Copies of this chain bind each other. A is one copy, B any other.
Amino acid sequence: MGGDHAPQAVVEGALLASRRGLPVLLVGDPARIEPLLPKGQRLAVRPALEALDERPTVAQVRRRKGSPVRQTLAAVRQGEACAAVSVGHTGAAMASALFELGRLPGVDRPAVTRAVPRADGGQLVILDLGANVDCKPGQLAQFAVMGHCFAAHVLDLEGPRVGLLSNGDEEGKGNELVRAAVPLLAELDLDYVGQVEPTAAFRGACEVLVCDGFVGNIMLKTVEATADVVGRLLKEQIISTPKAQVGAWLMRGAFQRFRSRTDWSRFGGAMLLGVDGVVLVGHGRSDPEAVAATIQHAHHCAQQALAERLAVAIGAALGASPDAA
The answer, yes or no, to whether A32 is at the interface (CB within 8 Å) is no
Closest to A57 in B: B172
The answer, yes or no, to whether A237 is at the interface (CB within 8 Å) is yes
The interface residues of chain B lying within 8 Å CB-to-CB of A120 are: 232
Report the Cα distance A234→B247, complex, angstroms: 14
How far does the Cβ of A102 sit from chain B's closest Cβ, in whole Å?
25
Query: In terms of DSSP, what is the predominant structure of the interface of chain A?
Result: helix
Report the Cα distance A212→B212, complex, angstroms: 14
How far does the Cβ of A226 sit from chain B's closest Cβ, in whole Å?
4
The interface residues of chain B lying within 8 Å CB-to-CB of A175 are: 133-134, 212, 214
The interface residues of chain B lying within 8 Å CB-to-CB of A156 are: none
The interface residues of chain B lying within 8 Å CB-to-CB of A174 are: 133, 214
A-B contact pairs, 20 of them (CB 8 A): A119-B232, A133-B175, A167-B213, A167-B214, A167-B217, A198-B225, A202-B228, A211-B218, A218-B219, A219-B219, A227-B230, A230-B262, A233-B262, A234-B255, A237-B258, A240-B254, A243-B251, A243-B253, A247-B248, A251-B251
From known contacts A167-B133, A249-B247, infer whether A233 and B219 are also in contact, taking CB-CB under 8 Å. Answer: no
Contact of B218 with A202 in the complex, beta carbons under 8 Å: no
Report the Cα distance A55→B119, complex, angstroms: 27
The answer, yes or no, to whether A165 is at the interface (CB within 8 Å) is yes
The answer, yes or no, to whether A312 is at the interface (CB within 8 Å) is no
